[in-house]
A = this chain, B = another copy of it.
Amino acid sequence: MPFTMRPVRRNAAARIVGALAAALLSASAVHAQVTAPPGALTVASPDGKNVAGVGVQDGHLAYYVQRGGRWIIQPSLLGFAFRGAPALRDSLRIVGNERRSFDTTWTQPWGEVARVRDQHNELRVTVEEQSAPRRRFVLAVRVFDDGVGFRYELPQQAALGEFEISDELTEFTLADNARAWWIASNRPRLDRSEQLYSSGPVSTLDSVQTPLTMAMSSGTQVVIHEADLVDYPRMFLAGPRMEGRTLRAALAPWNDGLKVRGRTPFVTPWRTIQLADRVEQLAPSVLGLKLNPPSRIADTRWIQPQKYVGIWWGMHLNTMTWSSGPKHGATTANTRKYIDFAAANGFRGVLVEGWNTGWDGDWIKNQNAFSFTEAYPDYDLRGLAAYAKSRGVGLIAHNETSGGIANYERQLEDAFRLYQSLGITTLKSGYVADTVGGGQSHYGQFAVRHHRKVIETAAKYGIMVNAHEPIHDTGERRTWPNMMSREGARGQEYNAWSGDSGNPPEHETILFFTRLLAGPMDFTPGIFDLMLASSGRPRTPEESRPRTTLAKQLALYVVLYSPLQMAADLPENYANQPAFQFIRDVAVDWDTTRVLDARIGDYVAVARKAKGRDEWFLGAITDEEARTLDVRLDFLPAGRRYVAEVYADGPGANWRDNPLPVAISRQPVTAASRQTLRLAPSGGVAVRIRPER
């Protein structure tokens, strides 16, 4: 039974059945207050507010977290269960500990912020079994001002060589029944991260994904996630389902049920607990970055954030096809048009989907469908690569694998070498399949190994990666800054065709504080034809279509961070659209980021400074409710004069039946200015602030 020290006042067996009840009743404390394990070792954040503790009680190892002297994570179990060996959980004792402090600041090649300071205090606790086989491990705990990370380190030892982990026993017992924003982890189809969010108390959670964002009744924000996921499965969380506050690590399995195959020396990913007093302080999230190793790429000048267009949306609207035939999107002629359009508008990339053979026939079920080097006859890969280059634009290669890992890895080097030879420096990959590699989970150790292999191979060939249906972001973009962006959540494409009406107006206001805390998302904003008339006829509000105003589509370029941002619509839908100027102007790389005002599920207003430019961008979005937000521009340097180019919802705009009106205006502003942002139902405001000329 999992160990949990819970402050439960269990009255009578009246409400509890079973062994757990007996155990709790025998504890007999009438009003059990939560206490740390006796003699627990503690480590604090540099500012002293966050404290993590590690101790042993009754032979069980537990950790806990407090902030400002109040419980956040109450003492919670640690350990492992093995196949073919006893669990590493009982009869443990602490045999040593070590402390370190660290303070370094580095510059990212790209990001929401240019510089990141990693300042932390670390406690390393050596733990050993009290009796044979006396296996030992280290629990490393790092405490930062913005949260805590801990991981297990299994040193090489006679008693533990090769191993098979059947379960990681880590628990997280929340100090109160916090309200969580969650997506389920037990939905078997396709990429289950492509779901809409729900909210509810921790006690009701069943099986959920991370980042898991929670608000305690005190207002403290707690986000559970992981960092530096290498050669290990992804961690989901199993919840209490009906009553209680304990979440348990639930690793994604191999198809034989095992979780981890490894050998010592071995380290797990960091389990991270990000903390903030207010929701606005959750973003930009850098805790995960600080827990990943420094960059392995010495010269990153070839790694360039970019805006791109693509032969892609037309297929989601069914006006083009991936497969060959009369509506084939990836033709030489069509691609030249997109290259010209990109060049004319300063976009650096052109994504082309459906260029390579394999799309004809049932590619979802055929793990060997695709060639990643052979183009369709009507697609002149070499010619187009050269033409793009001549116009200052790069083709973005598309590798849909349909989960066929063996087929992909077999061709990986040849494909990347080919792309490099053609000057192709960006790749979008996909894993549209229920399982990968012949029956393995998208999220298990097998898939994690594969995705790392792709990133590292891509780096060898100077290729930036944008992975769809990916392993979720755990901060590896610090180590491999060619790992630019991912999908791994429900994006714009669902607005084209989903069977449940597209994304609701609140969707992006939730994404910002959940999915986007892990890392960049290739959401693909910028749809201007919001009634989707270009698909055949304008769609009604009940049918699938983007449920936003046009101004909100602009704001998303600022709100939903990605170093690769798509102007997602068909080029013809941008013609004669003054609002398109914002997409031309918006930056994709940032010095600083600040959330001005927000409420999860309701609205977000964020300001970012363009890297290397005296320009700021402000984006605000709302859910189905119209809102007026009053924000201060005190992020601007004092004493300078700027012009705010404002793109706001026009008079009478609303997502349902009048999404298109955009009011464009200019105003002089300074650091002392206030800006009133009036947002329509599912509306937005996008602002570019540049120096007065």
| Residues in chain A within 8 A of chain B (CB atoms) | 6-15, 17, 30-31, 70-71, 175-177, 179, 183-184, 187, 189-190, 192, 194-204, 206, 217-218, 240-245, 315-318, 321-323, 362-365, 432-434, 496-502, 504-505, 535-537, 539, 541-544, 547, 624, 656
Determine whether the beta carbon of B71 is less than 8 Å from that of A542.
Answer: yes
Q: How many copies does the complex hold?
A: 2
Determine whether the beta carbon of B198 is less than 8 Å from that of A201.
Answer: yes
* Residues of chain B within 8 A of A323, CB atoms compared: 12
Determine whether the beta carbon of A245 is less than 8 Å from that of B30.
Answer: no
**Residue contacts A-B, CB under 8 angstroms, 13 given:** A6-B499, A9-B318, A9-B535, A17-B189, A30-B318, A177-B196, A184-B204, A196-B201, A196-B203, A201-B500, A206-B206, A244-B499, A245-B499
Cβ contact of A199, chosen from B198, B505, B547, cutoff 8 A: B198
Determine whether the beta carbon of B322 is less than 8 Å from that of A365.
Answer: no
Determine whether the beta carbon of A195 is less than 8 Å from that of B14.
Answer: no
Determine whether the beta carbon of A500 is less than 8 Å from that of B177.
Answer: yes
A244, A363, A364, A539: most-surrounded residue (chain B CB, <10 A): A364
* Residues of chain B within 8 A of A200, CB atoms compared: 196-200
With A189-B17, A541-B217, A543-B7 already in contact, the answer to whether A12 and B184 are too (CB < 8 A) is: no
Determine whether the beta carbon of B244 is less than 8 Å from that of A316.
Answer: no
The 4 closest A-B pairs by CB, nearest first: A198-B200, A203-B500, A177-B500, A187-B242
Determine whether the beta carbon of B322 is less than 8 Å from that of A14.
Answer: yes
* Residues of chain B within 8 A of A198, CB atoms compared: 198-201, 204
Cβ contact of A206, chosen from B15, B179, B184, cutoff 8 A: B184
Determine whether the beta carbon of B624 is less than 8 Å from that of A217.
Answer: yes
Q: Cα distance A301–B629 when bound, in Å?
A: 58
For the complex with contacts A17-B434, A179-B504, A206-B206, 8 further pairs of A-B residues with Cβ separation under 8 Å are A6-B499, A8-B499, A184-B242, A187-B242, A200-B200, A217-B542, A217-B656, A245-B499
**Interface SS, A side:** loop
Q: Cα distance A434–B15 when bound, in Å?
A: 10
Cβ contact of A196, chosen from B204, B504, B543, cutoff 8 A: B204
* Residues of chain B within 8 A of A363, CB atoms compared: 13
A175, A499, A624: most-surrounded residue (chain B CB, <10 A): A499
Q: Cα distance A15–B501 when bound, in Å?
A: 15
Q: Cα distance A94–B429 when bound, in Å?
A: 52
* Residues of chain B within 8 A of A242, CB atoms compared: 184, 187, 189, 192, 194-195
Cβ contact of A315, chosen from B14, B218, B244, B505, cutoff 8 A: B14
Cβ contact of A245, chosen from B12, B13, B500, B505, cutoff 8 A: B500
A34 to chain B: closest CB distance in Å?
8
* Residues of chain B within 8 A of A241, CB atoms compared: 184, 187
Determine whether the beta carbon of B199 is less than 8 Å from that of A204.
Answer: no
Cβ contact of A176, chosen from B240, B496, B542, cutoff 8 A: B542
Q: Cα distance A244–B494 when bound, in Å?
A: 12
Determine whether the beta carbon of A31 is less than 8 Å from that of B202.
Answer: no
Cβ contact of A362, chosen from B13, B183, B217, B499, cutoff 8 A: B13
Determine whether the beta carbon of A243 is less than 8 Å from that of B500.
Answer: yes
A567 to chain B: closest CB distance in Å?
20
Closest residue of B by beta carbon distance from A34: B542
Closest residue of B by beta carbon distance from A187: B242
A431 to chain B: closest CB distance in Å?
12
Q: Cα distance A183–B204 when bound, in Å?
A: 8
Determine whether the beta carbon of B217 is less than 8 Å from that of A547.
Answer: yes
Determine whether the beta carbon of A498 is less than 8 Å from that of B243.
Answer: yes
